[in-house]
A and B are shown apart, each in its own frame.
Chain A
């Protein structure tokens, strides 16, 4: 075959390939549009429509009037949980990478993943049994004589939600972080030890900076997951203030008020969107550096 003939044929084949590719993708695209994009768009625009169908910001005004404390509460709880998850997952990953007691490392590796396989609703239930005034935690502390029965607190409030979130999400982030740490060039760790760095210092100054991108990805995904959990706040802390997922369920179930529920949903989306934006920007910067 002469070269010009080959050249002229190549674009035709590419065009055909693109056509076939689109055809193959069409069912998936259709499903995503019909089952995800359309309902999402519908509920997002629904946040800006009144009961009469006219454009309005009334839903947002009402949301802020009724639930501004809950919005702050949600952001604070999830922000705090994210920080704690970062702390614990670095600690777990760090011990798995730098720990010298092999037995402890093996036990920790086997143990830390268990919460991953437990659904949020079961985690909520477990926490109720564990953290209530007459729950397992207080009973154990009282039996040990550490706690006076008269002072036994119930942790079934914001603290319970944070504990449940951290307990449930830490293994997920730790799994990612420990994986990234395991793939590091061990000699970068040894080089620091060789120059005189202790293990905590190595973790903070050598290991974590090298797995930062993975850590951020894990935390962003965790943040988004926690934003969408209804069962845990509902089971642990259904009083006021509570999280906006509970408020959304309440507006719909009790009042059929889709407008305010959509407005609260819009705010959740805006929050997770902001976090996702940080993540994407971070990713682009890292790639640019490489």
Chain B
């Protein structure tokens, strides 16, 4: 498999007068798996379609291993795309679908048969070559779509939400299969998804997109633990948000007491040292983000060292498995917190958020 690098340089896209992508730049190294992660309408699919050639770019440049492909039609870009709807051709068999790209490349019948057999074996579809694709299950169809793309040894593999039509259990398996295949083949891949976990599990790098821009680009752990904006923090699951009055210096973050939380002085994250994650100095009004799983419940009168403590009552309790999930009413707000101990609704509790679980942004930076 040939690995190629992909460079998107200041690409803008407009649909009529509406701009959908604003000067987006992205670099994908050979063999790298990059996920474009964002909510509906953020421009992630438009970016993928610009890379594949189905959408014209208004300005900017797209190159593959240095070759400018910005104005090439889709059929001459030597990429292969896996579509959300699979887009299999219903009038062809499994072998017909997988071998079509090879036929277009004038591979002879014997060569095609050999490659089709290889791809079928790779994807665990042995024995299905002559089956019409309309007789396959969702998971099998998805594999055929992937096989059709891989059969031609494309320079770049493009995945447009390929797992969103599968049921949750199969999705988990296929995720790992695609990732393993991509690594094994060393193919450069760009994957569009709105599913955070899917992006985290599959990608080497994640580009988080919002309103036609890439707002953060980094490793899964990087964007997860060091979100650079309130938007990224919320999108990556730190969606409990509490308004604070906070001041920071080089070492510490001082939080003033308010009706719903205690005063606290917390360590600030520095290099490898654990502590509150800040992107800029805090000097007054701020918003703190934290995840349900990284906070814990304490007794109403208890204190917690190096943690922000919110005071409230349990409004609701559920058991999704493993831990209990509590909705805690704090003032007029509700926070979600996971805790191993079973408690009853109505009980007064404290939510202790350890310093290293807090991402605090100045309030004006709210996305």
By a beta-carbon cutoff of 8 Å, the part of chain A in contact with chain B is 185, 187-188, 190-198, 201, 205-206, 209-210, 212, 289-290
Residue contacts A-B, CB under 8 angstroms, 25 given: A185-B87, A187-B87, A188-B88, A188-B90, A190-B81, A191-B83, A191-B88, A191-B148, A192-B100, A193-B73, A193-B74, A194-B74, A194-B77, A194-B80, A194-B81, A195-B100, A196-B78, A201-B104, A206-B89, A209-B91, A210-B89, A210-B90, A210-B91, A212-B91, A290-B134
Neighbouring A residues of B77 by C-beta, 8 Å = 194
- For B75, give its contact among A194, A206, A210 (CB under 8 Å): A194
Residue from B78, B104, B152 whose CB has the most chain A CB atoms within 10 Å: B104
Segment 217-233 of B: residues with Cβ below 8 Å from A = none
Interface residues on B, range: 20 to 34
Neighbouring B residues of A185 by C-beta, 8 Å = 85, 87
Neighbouring A residues of B85 by C-beta, 8 Å = 185, 187
A-B contact count (CB 8 A): 65
- For A198, give its contact among B75, B81, B91 (CB under 8 Å): B75
Considering the chains assembled together, what is the distance between the CA atoms of A212 and B132 in angstroms? 17
B140-156: CB near A (< 8 Å → 1, else 0) gives: 00000000100010000
CB distance from A97 to the nearest CB of B (A): 15
Contact status B91-A194, CB under 8 Å = no
- Residue of B whose beta carbon sits closest to that of A290: B134
CB distance from A182 to the nearest CB of B (A): 16
Q: Which 10 A-B pairs have the closest CB atoms?
A: A187-B87, A195-B101, A191-B87, A209-B91, A187-B83, A196-B104, A194-B81, A193-B74, A196-B75, A188-B87
- For B104, give its contact among A195, A210, A212, A289 (CB under 8 Å): A195
Segment 252-304 of B: residues with Cβ below 8 Å from A = none
CB distance from A206 to the nearest CB of B (A): 6
Segment 35-93 of B: residues with Cβ below 8 Å from A = 52, 54, 73-81, 83-85, 87-91
- Taking the complex as formed, is B105 at the interface, i.e. its CB lies under 8 A from any CB of chain A? yes
Considering the chains assembled together, what is the distance between the CA atoms of A195 and B54 in angstroms? 12
Considering the chains assembled together, what is the distance between the CA atoms of A192 and B73 in angstroms? 13
Contact status B89-A196, CB under 8 Å = no
Neighbouring B residues of A289 by C-beta, 8 Å = 132, 134
Q: A185-B85, A192-B89, A196-B75 are in contact. List 5 more A-B contacts (CB 8 A).
A: A193-B74, A195-B80, A197-B75, A209-B91, A212-B91
Considering the chains assembled together, what is the distance between the CA atoms of A290 and B84 in angstroms? 22
By a beta-carbon cutoff of 8 Å, the part of chain B in contact with chain A is 52, 54, 73-81, 83-85, 87-91, 100-101, 104-105, 132, 134, 148, 152
Considering the chains assembled together, what is the distance between the CA atoms of A195 and B101 in angstroms? 5
CB distance from A123 to the nearest CB of B (A): 35
- Residue of B whose beta carbon sits closest to that of A195: B101
With A190-B54, A190-B74 as given contacts, are A195 and B87 in contact (CB-CB < 8 Å)? no
Considering the chains assembled together, what is the distance between the CA atoms of A212 and B101 in angstroms? 22
- Residue of A whose beta carbon sits closest to that of B92: A209
CB distance from A99 to the nearest CB of B (A): 14
Contact status B87-A190, CB under 8 Å = yes
Contact status A196-B91, CB under 8 Å = no
